[in-house]
Every structure is written in C-alpha cells, then in structure tokens.
Amino acid sequence: PQCLNSSGSRLGLDIGGTLAKLVFFESETRPSWCNGRIAEVIKSLGCVASEEPASLSSSCQQSRSGSLLRAVSKRAVGFQRQSSFWGEQDMELSFYDDELKGRFHFLCFRSDQMERFVSLIAVHELHHNMTEIFTTGGGAYKYAELFQERLDVKLVPVDELSVVIKGISWLVNRPLSPEAGEVCWLGDEQPSALDGQPISQCHWMEPSDESLFPFILVNIGSGVSIVKVEGIDKFERISGSALGGGTFWGLCKLLCPSCKDFSEAGFLAAEGDSSNLNLLVEDIYGGDYELPSGTKLPGNLVASFFAKAGAGGSSENSGEADILNALTTMVSQNICQIAYLNARLQEVSRIVFTGNFLRQNPVARQVIAENMRRVSAAAAASERQNGREPLQAHFLHHEGYFGALGTFLHNVE
C-alpha cells in the first residue's frame, strides 16, 4: 500500500480546543523529505534528550515519591522539559508497522502554539513538496489562513468523529509488532501495577479478532462527546458534556496554581486522598448504608464532592494532591455516569474511553473502571433477568491520537 497521498503528505493532524495531535509516518520503502528530521522538530519543541526523569522542581508543590517520578517520565521517554509544556513526542506510543513498512510517531503540542509550530515547519522546510494536509478538529478552520499564508499549504478539513472511529478500528485490529502489541486495556480485570504500585484495576489486552462493534465511544477531550458506533461508517453522536478535560485542567489551574504540568497533576492526583475533601456515605451514616431495595451504598462512596471543604474540618489539612485527586474523581465519575446511562439506553455493553484527559492520568482510568463495575454490579440482578450483559470500560493505549491517526489513514486512501 502507498503511504502517501498525491501531494506526498505523511502527516495526520488533529487540532483540538486544547491540544494539537500530530501523527507522522516514516516509510522505509519510500523515504521522504523529513525521515530522521523528526528529531530536529522534537528538539525544537522545547525538549532535550535526557536519561533523567522530568524535572518537577518548578511545578506542583508536594512531596513526590520515586515511583511518581518514574511514572511521570515513563511516557515521554527520555525527554526533559526546558520550559512549561508546549509540546512533546510520545516515544512510548511509536511503533513499526510490518505491513506498511514504516514507523509511526506521535507528537502533541498546545493548539495555542500553532504559530510557533508553523514557524518550525517553515524553518526546517518540512512542508517541502506538500500542498495540503488533511486535518481534523476545529483548528482545521481556525488555522487554515495561517498555513496558507505562511506555508502555502491548504488544510483540508475532515470530519472528527469519522476519523476517530477509523483510527480506533484500524489500530485495534492491527497485527502490530510486539512493541505495540498492547493497544487496548479492559477496565474490569485483575489489578495491575505501575512501578510496583497497584494503581489501576485494568490489564492490557492484545489486539483482538473479535468484532469491535457495536460500542459506545466516550471521547474525553476539552469537552466530552458520546457516540454510538455500529460500524466504521455507521455512527451517531448521541450525547455529550461540557464538563470534561478542559474543566478539570481549568479548575486545576485555579485551585492549584503552582501546578504547571498536566501529566504531573495526573500522577500527583494518584498520591492524594480525596476523603479529606469529599463527603462520603460513611461520614453521613457511619458506615455502609443499605437501601430498602437491598442495594448497598458502600461507606467509601462519595456523597458530595468537595463538601468537606465547605464544612471546614479536615479539608484544612488538604494539599494539592488531595484537591487534584478529588477533581479528577469528580470529573471522571460524572462522565462515567453519563456514559453508563447512554450505554443502557442504547443497549450496548462495550464502552471505549478515549481523549487526552486520560493521558498520563491513572486515577481517571481507575475511577472510570471501578465506577463502571460498581454501577453495573448494582444493576446486575435486573440485568440478568433482562438478559443484559454487564457493561465494560475499555481504554486504548493511544488514547488521544485517534483523530490524527484516522486523518493520516484518510490521507493514504
């Protein structure tokens, strides 16, 4: 298969409300103008190669364990930020595709840095021979003039949901090389560990032959889109929420001003204890509470997020890690609840969560997986009677890149 469109583009670009995602394919059989030069671009993104973990000195003020440091540095392998995040390559996600004979690279940067990115392309002449880039996300419109004027490149808009679905179905069923074998994880299996610390009730799955469809797609970007997907070309946006990743990050900046970096916030949240801030069922009832229907509300269930902060008390001793944990849990649980209800309405049992809110955010994945298991179990009796399957939360390794990947695939057709 040819991995080039007529203009020679090997890029897939998704310019979202917060982050721009770039997929770049380096073909072995048809080397292009910028094979190998990708490293130059990455350096220019404000990162330098380093064996050391990311420097956290100027960020979230909280004690951090070695495991946190390792976790933070795990994804953007070997790169240290010189300034606050504006872009990085996700080295861990890169993979070699045997069939296409080439390597996929994944980069993201802040959408508001588009001028800087375009200047880099111009300086490195990476747009040589390129006349158009298929692009998804609102930025395909917003930045069309910038690309046209500065690079003489046309951004061709592509519908967002169709490319996200295309990217997912392509990658999940792909016979990938062993390094990229872990494309998906299932949110209701045995506890797994990150650096020896159990942080998630998820385990990695190999790509499967089983049909992916139908599924409910919950894309958690700045906002949330909920889509019923019955086939690669058969999908419908059924719901959404404006309480999404952008809400989390905005509140995080307001409540934890020293926290400058999203990935640090994610991993710091894993160290926090939100029971200092959230009012739990056990704070009200003294333990678990059994409803007249026989359903038990566990004592550790949150009755009201941040309510203890309103009542004073132990919230005074809460640090940023606790706030971040509460914020992450609040946003994740709310999205999970909306996803659950929509999946039930549509009678679809598989729910796939994507989007960069999940990027380097183990707490969010864990909350969603556990919450899905809990609400599913609570409804289990009537579900069995009705012959319904319990719902399953799935997460994908390349969570935020499916729009860009699908746009690349759109390019090669």
Residue ranges binding ligand ADP (CB under 6 A) = 16-19, 85, 137, 221-222, 245-246, 248-249, 262, 355-357, 359, 400
Least separation in angstroms between CB 266 and ligand ADP? 8
CB-nearer residue toward ligand ADP: 235 or 401: 401
Residue 9 or 18 with smaller CB distance to ligand ADP: 18
Instruction: Provide DSSP, 97-127.
Output: ETTTTEEEEEEEEEGGGHHHHHHHHHHHTTT
CB 148, min distance to ligand ADP, A: 22
For residue 178, is the peptide bond before it cis, meaning its omega torsion is within 30 degrees of 0? no
Closest residue to ligand ADP, Cβ-based?
16
Q: How far is the CB of 135 from ligand ADP (least distance, A)?
A: 12
Q: Judged by CB, which is closer to ligand ADP: 187, or 223? A: 223
Copy the structure tokens of residue 13: 């670009």
Burial status of residue 55 (CB atoms within 10 A of its CB: 0-12, 13-18, 19 or more): middle
The count of residues in the chain is 413
CA dihedral 17, 359, 325, 362 (to 10 degrees): 160
Q: Which C-beta is closer to ligand ADP: that of 247 or that of 276?
A: 247
Three-point CA angle 57, 59, 62, nearest 5°: 85
CB–CB of 369/233 below 8 Å?
no
Minimum CB–partner distance for residue 221 and ligand ADP (Å): 2
Give the torsion sign (CA, 373, 175, 108, 43). positive
CB of 26 or CB of 264, closer to ligand ADP: 264
For residue 103 the two structure tokens come to 């390597």
- Tell which residue, 279, 163, 262, 181, has the closest CA to residue 222: 262
Residue with smaller CB distance to ligand ADP, 16 or 187: 16
Q: At what angle do helices 144-151 and 114-124 cross, to 10 degrees?
A: 20
Minimum CB distance to ligand ADP, residue 225 (Å): 10
Closest distance to ligand ADP from the beta carbon of 252 (Å): 8
Nearer to ligand ADP, 19 or 367 (CB): 19
CB 202 within 8 A of CB 189: yes
How near is the Cβ of 18 to ligand ADP at its closest, in Å?
4
Select 153 or 335, whichever has its Cβ closest to ligand ADP. Answer: 335
**By C-alpha distance, which of 203, 98, 164 is closest to 356?**
164
d(CA 218, CA 48): 34
* Cβ at position 359, least distance to ligand ADP in Å: 4
Query: Which residue, 6 or 83, is less far from ligand ADP as judged by CB?
Result: 83
State the Cα–Cα distance between residues 87 and 97, nearest whole angstrom: 25
Question: Closest approach of Cβ 260 to ligand ADP, in Å?
Answer: 10
